Amino acid sequence: MLLYFLHFLLAFKLVLGASYTQSDSHTGIGFLKSFSYQAIPDPTHGRVNYVDAYTAANENLTYASGDHFVLRTDYWTVLDPNGPGRDSVRIQSNKQYTTSVMVFNIRHMPQGCGTWPAVWTVGEDWPNNGEIDVLEGVNDQGPNQATLHTSAGCTMPDWRYEKGNALLDDCNTLLNSNSGCGVKFVDTRSYGPIFNDHGGGWFASERSEAGISVWFWSRDAGTVPYEVEVGNETVDTDNWGEPSAYFPNTDCDIGAKFGPHNIVINLSLCGDWAGSAYGASGCPSTCEDYVDNNPWAFEDAYFDFQWLKIYT
């Protein structure tokens, strides 16, 4: 019992936050200036064709208006099953970050069978500099899941100071088909159509040598920290309460396993996760056939960001 209590105190101490000052703020057209397009083959083998900046603008797959930045997939083209996948977008921040807090104010996320939206950060030479998934899910099957992916030697304790439910404890990409060490949120408003029906919300992540935390507040939660809601110039994560997901450094050297990270926002379809989970998601046909022949089904497959603020 004493050992358990000491472990509790250690975990509680490590999750305590700190004060940060805003270093970057992206709204509307600011996203287009601060992110670059990655017109690459989808590393997760999705039924998508990631396009370049010119094509994205020409097809209206990304656009900015006022405090709206929209990133979406094509929803008007029937695909040749032997041709490339559905046009979509993957963008990456031009700057890299280490110790930092990121707050994503999102009005709408992609929804629909076959969709695999993600907001995440990643280092070079993957997985040796780590990956942090802040927002991710497939086929409208919420709630949200936050996950770490690393090289061998990063594990999580059985008990953590977090609201969510831990799925696996070993973050090693070579194990469990690269599932990583994920935490499933308990707030059903954190993903998919339910997230959109409630007007979206805020996802926030904190990365420090002590650990990595992810929070979520729905637009109508009534418990959103004021500094998060307004995008304050400074934030103090001590004021944010228990995170939805917490990954302490007790059995994972955060400084060694996570290098400088870029922010990535992308929308894949089918692929390693959404495709493999498709049959159990209550979706029709097969994932690839559905994506190829039902463009209208992806009219709501878009992100709408109000802003992104980064604190260091």
Residue 124 annotated in active site: no
| Sign for the pseudo-dihedral over CA of 267, 93, 221, 65 | negative
Active-site annotation holder among 131, 162, 206, 288: 131
C-alpha 244/C-alpha 165 separation (Å) is: 9
Would you call 59 a catalytic residue per the annotation? no
User: Per residue in 55-110, pLDDT tens?
Assistant: 999 999 999 999 999 999 999 999 999 999 999 999 999 999 999 999 999 999 99
Whether the Cβ atoms of residue 267 and residue 87 lie closer than 8 Å to each other? no
What's the whole-model pTM score? Answer: 0.94
59, 136, 227, 229: which is the annotated catalytic residue?
Answer: 136
CA distances (Å), origin 7, targets 14, 154, 160, 174, 245: 11, 18, 9, 28, 17
The pLDDT of residue 17 is: 65
CATH for 2-311, among 2.60.120.200, 3.40.190.150, 2.30.30.220, 1.20.1290.10? 2.60.120.200
φ, ψ of residue 32 to 5 degrees: the values are: -65, -25
Sheet arrangement for strand 165-166: 35-37, 90-93, 261-269, 115-123, 131-136, 145-149, 181-184, 165-166
pLDDT tens digits for range 213-236: 999 999 999 999 999 999 999 999
List the domain boundaries for the chain: 2-311
